[in-house]
Structure 1
């Protein structure tokens, strides 16, 4: 993680009006942070004293089960909060969040303003709306897994998870996330290559027909 200094803090606050989410001046408690691709924003089981507001980029949320198996829960896209549950929850042990692209966040030093945050009606209302939207998105994803074919769901997932036009997620991880067999996933990826939607390369799958991919994804949006 890199702390960005200078005029960029003002730039990002002006571009992303996070000030509107608080009744007090949040700027003294805030920094601009840059995470490179593959960096951990939160390591699973850590005890964070920072809340983040992602303004650019995307990340993956993981959880490890008691049997040691690791599951991908969801993809996180900007703009969004991270660490809000840990702020509200007394236990505050976080799940793992890892970037999948270059990501810029506004970090808020929770340990310095916790009482102000927990007493701020404007902030708490915004968090309630945000958590409600997350719950709705999770429900929608579950429903989509039941009623839409893999072609549409995989197209939407590739658009969500690709970085600079390249898709290269782990097959086993995505099979579990989308609720499909390994064989079925490979079949649809091969189908996309035959239709010149994707091209298999050493770095992963390169998107060569973004329009067609978008048309397939649009079916479930």
Structure 2
């Protein structure tokens, strides 16, 4: 992880894509850059910072009691990370991992507690964000019932790939999409035959972005 002060970052960047927060919060915050597969938050570890995604993608996973990893959600630009913990809704943190290069605003927890938890505008920001997050989850389950697997898988490959390289476990993906492992492998085989993807290693594929866009869920 690379970290620079927010003030140094502002010398060369515009701020139109950042949330509306008090100046003293920005002054005490940092801009952090994560590399592909770098962990942002470790599961069950005390939260030290919250994050706002400026550029890039991330994923939230949970390790079950039997050691199995479950994919819960993807994160993108303008998403918050750690917001449920500071609100007291989530007692145990989940794993959050970068997909490709990721740039975030990092706000230390003591700054959150001192300034943001008494700021009504911040709570309005979180209310809108959490409402959209709930709708996204609802849409995810709705799409699992409404669309054929090939359309859902195409969308998933586009969301989870990094520079057109896809590296997720088939078992994790099958559970996330709500299908059998066998069914998922059949669609992967079809995609390879159609030139949508090219296998370049174990659970490692190069995707044809243009072709997948044509059959993805819009």
TM-score, normalisation: structure 1: 0.90
For the Cα contact (< 8 Å) 1:48–1:92, is it kept in 2?
Answer: no
Is 1:124 the counterpart of 2:154? The answer is no
Aligned to 1:4: 4
The 1-side partners of 2:111 and 2:89 are apart by 16
- Report the CA distance shift for 1:197/1:121 in structure 2 as closer, same or farther (over 3 A): same
Gaps of 5+ in 2: none
Aligned to 1:33: 32
Is 1:157 the counterpart of 2:156? The answer is yes
1:58-137 equivalence runs, <5 A: 58-89=57-88, 92-137=91-136
Aligned-residue offset at 1:180: 1.0
The 2-side partners of 1:192 and 1:90 are apart by 40
The 1-side partners of 2:73 and 2:60 are apart by 5
The 2-side partners of 1:54 and 1:11 are apart by 18
What is the DSSP-based 3-state SS (H/G/I as helix, E as strand, rest coil) of the residue aligned with 1:73? strand
TM-score, normalisation: structure 2: 0.91
For the Cα contact (< 8 Å) 2:25–2:111, is it kept in 1?
Answer: no
Gaps of 5+ in 1: none
Aligned to 1:200: 199
For the Cα contact (< 8 Å) 1:40–1:97, is it kept in 2?
Answer: yes
Q: CA RMSD in A?
A: 2.0
Tell me how many residue pairs correspond in the alignment: 216
Aligned-residue offset at 1:66: 3.7
The 2-side partners of 1:58 and 1:119 are apart by 29
Aligned-residue offset at 1:9: 4.2
- Report the CA distance shift for 1:9/1:96 in structure 2 as closer, same or farther (over 3 A): farther
For the Cα contact (< 8 Å) 1:23–1:122, is it kept in 2?
Answer: no
